[in-house]
Structure 1
Amino acid sequence: MVVTTTNAVEGRKVVEYKDIVFGEVITGINFFKDIGAGLRNMFGGRSQGYEDELCNARNEALEEMKRRAASLGANAVIGVDIDYEVLGSDNGMLMVTASGTAVTVE
């Protein structure tokens, strides 16, 4: 499955536009990662726990988007955009959304 942020796949012709597809992941940040991030915020440095969680959520959202595109018979997703949001009353939830246009290319 070709996935690109551009509106075309270089050297290949789009022969059919299938539909807009999405992959959404909502994940919670656990108590221990919050403690670690709080310490990093106080003393400086990167929060590896949050970075890992963000990376995993992004990868899961992209995989979900590709699965949905494949179920439509697409072999590529073009114009991909990834959005991040913090949710919940205590901002303890992370939402990652990947979206694009499912297409068939030659």
Structure 2
Amino acid sequence: MAQLLCKECGKYKPEKEVQLSICDDCFKYGAPRKTQQSAALQPAAPTVSVDADHIILTTSIDIPNRSIERVVSIVAAEAALGMNVFRDIANNWRDFVGGRSNSAQKSLKEARTACLDELRREASALGADAVIAVDLDYNELTTGGAGILFVAATGTAVKLAPLVPDP
């Protein structure tokens, strides 16, 4: 059985005892206070490389042919990309003559991909199998001739029920 890290007490607990990244004990009784001595005696958490390629992302509230066992947590990711002066000049020229701006499209795709990758990593670190109801928000801030592109992605990390083979 997989173990998840409780963000309150810092201990690894069985997956069924951790909801929204907080173990049942911390939720019921509060996180135990750590003294300097007990913190020094506690072993460091093992470092785990997160392979998040298996995480399913969807904008829908369900996954076809799969049932959701439980909600794990809300996950979010943000990306802020500076658009350089040359891209801004190219975009301003495109605004004037019309047409598609490849540099702006490339920046949007780069920011979106970074956010979705980070959502996968967040969900995988929490022990989730999928992120449902993914929402992407875009915004731009112009500061003194240079622009910053902001992309934020949010979703609900869920654990999927095991697949049941057909008889």
Distance 1:39 1:6 in 2: 38
**Structure 1 residue 44 displacement after superposition:** 1.2
Q: How does 1:36-75 map to 2 (within 5 A)?
A: 36-75=90-129
TM-score between the two structures when normalised by the length of structure 1: 0.94
CA RMSD for the aligned pairs?
A: 1.2
Distance 1:53 1:80 in 2: 20
Report what 1:98 is aligned to. 153
Task: Write the deviation string for residues 52-76 of structure 1: whole angstroms up to 9, x where unpaired.
Answer: 0001100100100110010000010
1:77 and 2:131 are equivalent in the alignment = yes
* Structure 1 residue runs of 4 or more that deviate by more than 4 Å after TM superposition: none
Structure 2 spans left out of the alignment, 5+ residues: 1-54, 162-167
Structure of greater Rg: 2
Distance 1:88 1:64 in 2: 25
**Structure 1 residue 88 displacement after superposition:** 4.5
Greater per-residue strand proportion: 1
* Local SS of the residue matching 1:92: strand
TM-score between the two structures when normalised by the length of structure 2: 0.61
Matched residues, percent identical? 40
Higher relative contact order at CA 8 Å, sep ≥6: structure 1 or structure 2?
Answer: 1
Distance 1:29 1:95 in 2: 11
* Local SS of the residue matching 2:116: helix
